[in-house]
Amino acid sequence: MSEIDAAYEQTSFSMDSVGANGKYQLPVSQGPTYEMSGRPDPESVKPVLDSAGYALIAPHTEMNYLSTKLLDSETNEFAHIKMTGNKLRIFPKDEDFSKETLERLVNTFRKKICSLELVSENADGADENE
């Protein structure tokens, strides 16, 4: 199994019913965790993603933290990324999240920002939900 296949196996998205009688629908997603080869400055990552064809939606940065929804202009799919220190989390934003979108985002980071290594599914909080 390739690394991208293993990372994609870690993604999931669902709409969970919550509240009295399941009145409300809450989106819940899980995604792979990558360890970055350093701690890229979040402010420098935003223009790189923008130039690679990602629309950043409501980005939030502070210190070594970046959280933003992304629209991939090539696949027209949404994702949510969280960069904290040397960790990158990638969450699908709907049920149609494809392996192609994940692979393109990972490759963009590797070619233009820093090297990445997939963290095993159960290591260091990788089971955190988005």
- What digits encode the pLDDT tens for the residues 19-70? 888 889 999 999 999 999 989 999 999 999 999 999 999 999 988 899 999 9
Q: Read off the tokens for 74.
A: 């090539």
Phi, psi of 41 (to 5 degrees): -70, 120
Dist CA 4 CA 101 (whole Å): 11
Higher pLDDT, 98 or 127: 98
Structure-model confidence comparison of residues 42 and 128, the more confident one: 42
- Beta-strand ranges (E) seen in the chain are 12-18, 24-30, 33-36, 54-62, 65-72, 77-84, 87-92, 116-118
pLDDT of residue 22: 86
Q: What is the pTM of this model?
A: 0.88
- Amino acid identity at 13: F
Identify the pLDDT of residue 120.
83
Domain-by-domain residue ranges, the chain?
3-118
